[in-house]
Copies of this chain bind each other. A is one copy, B any other.
């Protein structure tokens, strides 16, 4: 059997146009969009609509039936005026989420999701659903493209760390053909994986969140395997729903 292609893209824009076509994309924005998406779906949201633009998000929410829309997101890390919720994962409680559609606009995560839509299949990954994501990647034969959201146009530690954990899993499971960024991510996991909480704290995203008073979000983002669900992108309209549920076994090796 030929080696499986496993590519990491440290930023969405580092994947050349057409690069993801036909592949399985795994989108990562640990602090905080993909962590929040897993929390929201686990808490009962039926779907998450990723929006690039704040006004677009408001319009989509307005068009949903009364009481069925939840408007969430951030700019500069802070909640947006008139929105129901910011981007703090634990604020997405069952009471708020049940049977609603979350319309979500964030600085880095939603653009990454929209970019990744080029792939044939798109999953959403965070530490909170790590082993469930591993299972879905394992069962899929497509080339894997792990797309990191990064932070303000720069690669970031926390997304690269999770990308590296997935690379580590894939290299144990299969003969993988890695791009250079996948090797960098793997190195990051090797060195930072066993000190996950500390890594999230020293990362630029972690430092920025702490300065805004969101220390709890950093802790929430590091809760490995808290959930067993894998969000998956659906189309027309573009949205994220629960694609699969289940952890066969813990794949977290540190």
Contacts and interface: CB of A to CB of B under 8 A. Distances in A.
Q: For the complex, would chain A's binding face be called helix, strand, loop or mixed by DSSP majority?
A: helix
A35 interface: no
A177 to B, nearest CB: 10
Counted per complex, copies of this chain come to: 2
Contacts of A179: 154, 204
Q: Range of interface residues on chain A?
A: 20 to 34
A154 B184 contact: no
B154 A14 contact: yes
A153 interface: yes
30 contacts: A10-B155, A11-B14, A14-B153, A14-B154, A14-B155, A16-B153, A151-B180, A154-B180, A154-B181, A155-B184, A156-B180, A157-B180, A157-B183, A160-B180, A160-B184, A179-B204, A180-B203, A180-B204, A183-B192, A183-B202, A183-B203, A184-B184, A186-B191, A187-B187, A187-B188, A187-B190, A187-B191, A187-B192, A190-B190, A191-B191
Given A156-B180, A179-B204, A184-B188, 8 more contacts: A154-B180, A154-B181, A155-B181, A180-B204, A183-B188, A183-B192, A187-B188, A187-B190
